[in-house]
Amino acid sequence: MNLTLSIGPLVSLIAGILILIMPRLLNFIIAIYLIVIGLLGLFGGSFHLR
C-alpha cells in the first residue's frame, strides 16, 4: 500500500488546526502558509512523502 501525501494539503490542515486552537495567531499562520506555498511553487512543489 502506497500512501502519497502532498505538502500543500498537509500545511493547510496544520494551519487550520492551529487557527482553531489559537485564533489570535491567524495573521501569523496565514503569512507562514503563503510563504510556504509560494516557495513550493517556485521550487517545483512536487514533494511527496511515501
Predicted model pTM: 0.51
Set of cell numbers at residue 36? 510556504
Share of the chain above pLDDT 70, in %: 78
Set of cell numbers at residue 35? 510563504
Q: pLDDT per residue over 25-45, tens digit each? A: 888 888 887 888 788 778 875
Of 3 and 6, the structure prediction assigns the larger pLDDT to 6
Give me the residue label for grid cell 503569512. 31
**SS3 per-residue string spanning the chain:** CCCCEEHHHHHHHHHHHHHHHCHHHHHHHHHHHHHHHHHHHHCCCCCEEC
User: Is residue 8 scored above 80 in pLDDT?
Assistant: no
Q: Where are the domains of the chain?
A: 6-46
